[in-house]
Amino acid sequence: MQKPKKLMPGATIGVISPSSPSETRSEVPRAVEYLSAMGYNIITGSNLNKTKGFVAASEEDRAADLNEMFRRKDIDAVFVTQGGYGAAQLLDLIDFEMIKNNPKIFTGFSDITSLHLMFNKFCDLVTFHGPGMARFNEEELTEYTKKQFFDALCTDKPLGKINTADKKKWLYKISGGKAEGQITGGNLTLVCSSLGTPYEIDCRGKILFLEEVDAEPWIIDHNMCHLRNSGKLKDAIGFVIGECKNCRPYDYKPGYNCDISLEEVLEYYLKDLSKPVLYGLPLGHTEDIATIPLGVSALLDADSKTLEIKESGVL
């Protein structure tokens, strides 16, 4: 895997909307103000937040912004406004060969999982599972999220162990053991969406990281079953499950009448695989987010409840 250059003081960050538009008009201006105050130069894509239904612009316009940011020599890193929906629509329009020849920092999460998987697979590029521009403001960017993010992008040393933001948080060892290998994955729904396509996730010999938000346990069961049927659970050597915010049976008109918890679903599919499984790290749709490089070597020790990133994501 090739690594992008680390984010240096005064670097230029290109901002695009490959998925949904920003929720409010002020999200991007306040993030630009925040990052500019830190000394970075910000350039926004030509088609940023051109709302078209539930996506930020047409497929062609969103892909054009992404390709342009990687093609331009004056852009050092590419940030997204947010996730949402629609990144997978762009896959046939992305110039993967050009991106492979112009490696840059790329960061985002949730729907951006589709792009992480493709950059890892077709560009051999390490990318970063971390917050989008919507978080970059004094009100919403916690000190933990800020430190983890810039440590990952600005330091050419391994991140080491990913700690919880709150020491009172309890991590659940679903199955013990150790596994060391490349880490891959992201949002469960988007990982499953890749199956059966040319863009399918490769889990062979890798640690599979998954996270989800606002999904009832039966929906997560459906997706975990899909991963099992596709052979991906067999291929992976270990599993890291991030905090899954609001993943419980709904209090109103549930999509399926059940009282099974998320933990029971995870146990059902993962506990008997004789592979390490750790649940609860701050990875994904949580107030505190740990940014991690995807495509680097990691050590999962479920017995000691640790995930250690053993390799830097940047040069």
Which active-site residues does the annotation give?
110, 211, 285
Output the six-digit token pair for 46: 């030509």
d(CA 314, CA 292): 11
Whole-angstrom distance, CA of residue 92 vs CA of residue 72: 20
Tokens 């991906």 correspond to 232
Please list the helix, strand and coil fractions of the chain in percent, rounded to the nearest 5, in that order: 30, 20, 45
**Distances in Å between the alpha carbon of 203 and those of 37, 66, 98, 178?**
40, 26, 25, 16
| The pairing of beta strand 172-175 with beta strand 277-281 | antiparallel
Over the range 110-148, which residues count as b (16 or more CB within 10 Å of their CB) and which as e? Answer: bbbbbbbbbbbbbbebbbbbbbbbbbbbeeebbebbbeb
Task: Return phi, psi of residue 151, to 5°.
Answer: -60, -40
Phi-psi region of 220 (alpha: psi -120 to 50; beta: other; left: phi over 0): alpha
Spatial separation of the C-alpha atoms in residues 112 and 95, rounded to whole Å:
17
For residues 180 and 172, what is the distance between their CA atoms, to the nearest angstrom?
Answer: 19
| Angstrom distance (rounded) from CA 271 to CA 228 | 13
155 phi and psi angles, rounded to 5 deg: -120, 125
Distance separating alpha carbons of residues 23 and 30, to the nearest angstrom: 13
